[in-house]
Amino acid sequence: MVDNTAAPQSYDLALTTGRSLFWLTPHRGVTLSDDAIAWTSDGKPERRPLADIAGVHVECAWVARQGMTDLCAIQFSDGIKLTASNLRWGTRAADSGQTELLRAFADDLHRRLARAGKPGIGNDAGSAAPSATFTAGFSPVRYWLLVGTAATFSLIALTASVVGFIVTGKAQVLFPLLPLALLLWPVVKTAGKNAPRRYEPGSPPDELMQ
């Protein structure tokens, strides 16, 4: 008989529950097993069955002075929300090492949830995967507001530059388009990665944590 269980794995990530800030929260470190997720909150151990997970949400966003900030949020059926980030513990900056750790955590979480929902593994009637909602990216309102704002600025700048070139005949009036393109590129890239969508736990959106 094949043993499909995986050993518990711990991840030294900065965590938050509710609306507290990552760099101020005392929550740090999370452990995954095939039937539960555990962390420490204000010095007190917390443990929830994976079957209590109502949803998982992943997204990334470029934040000034923080870099590319990745989030993996876990919503439990009782309303508690646990969010892990790639921010370095005790700072406001994203960290490449923490990004890799967060990706490993998210991959592990999705693998365990996908395995919990397969026939013959765990308790199908109470497994987390079939009853959980897996979403990625920004909310539709936030996404289209970002896309619309970027498109509007681009259209205004392009129109003004072309009109200026036609009127003056000087190529210099087109030069501001370059810094504008450099400014808008992170916005376009972030929007592209964060198109709102649903996914299956067996196929998480890897592009959100790179």
* Same domain membership, residue 168 and residue 78: no
Residue type, position 128, single letter:
A
pLDDT surpassing 70 at residue 167? yes
* Domain annotation covers residue 165: yes
* Same domain membership, residue 101 and residue 82: yes
Asked whether 86 and 98 are in contact (CB, 8 A), the reply is yes
* Same domain membership, residue 148 and residue 85: no
* Domain annotation covers residue 195: no
* Domain annotation covers residue 120: yes
For 25-40, the DSSP string reads: ---EEEEE-SSEEEEE
pLDDT at 49: 92
Residue 139 confidence class, pLDDT cut points 50, 70, 90: confident
pLDDT surpassing 50 at residue 121? no
CA-to-CA separations, 1 to 35, 116, 162, 185, in angstroms, rounded = 20, 17, 71, 52
pLDDT at 144: 84
* Same domain membership, residue 111 and residue 125: yes
* Domain annotation covers residue 53: yes
* Same domain membership, residue 84 and residue 51: yes
Sheet-wide strand order for 197-198: 44-49, 36-41, 28-32, 9-17, 81-85, 67-76, 53-63, 133-136, 197-198
* Same domain membership, residue 80 and residue 33: yes
Residue 205 CA, chain-centre distance (Å), reads 9
Average pLDDT of the residues in 100-127: 72
* Same domain membership, residue 49 and residue 87: yes
Average pLDDT of the residues in 116-123: 46
Q: Which residue has the higher pLDDT, 117 or 19?
A: 117
* Domain annotation covers residue 202: no
* Same domain membership, residue 174 and residue 84: no
pLDDT at 10: 93
Residue 186 confidence class, pLDDT cut points 50, 70, 90: confident
* Same domain membership, residue 150 and residue 95: no
Asked whether 89 and 167 are in contact (CB, 8 A), the reply is no
Crossing angle of helices 177-193 and 140-168, rounded to 10° = 160
Asked whether 193 and 208 are in contact (CB, 8 A), the reply is yes
Average pLDDT of the residues in 122-129: 44
Average pLDDT of the residues in 126-148: 76
* Domain annotation covers residue 196: no
pLDDT at 4: 55
pLDDT surpassing 70 at residue 208? no
- What would the pLDDT profile of 42-57 be if each residue is shown by its tens digit? 778 889 999 899 999 9
**What residues make up the domain containing 65?**
9-135
* Domain annotation covers residue 2: no
* Domain annotation covers residue 194: no
* Same domain membership, residue 131 and residue 31: yes
Domains identified in the chain, total number = 2
Q: Which residues contact 17 (CB under 8 A, 6 or more apart)?
A: 25, 27, 41, 80, 81, 82, 83
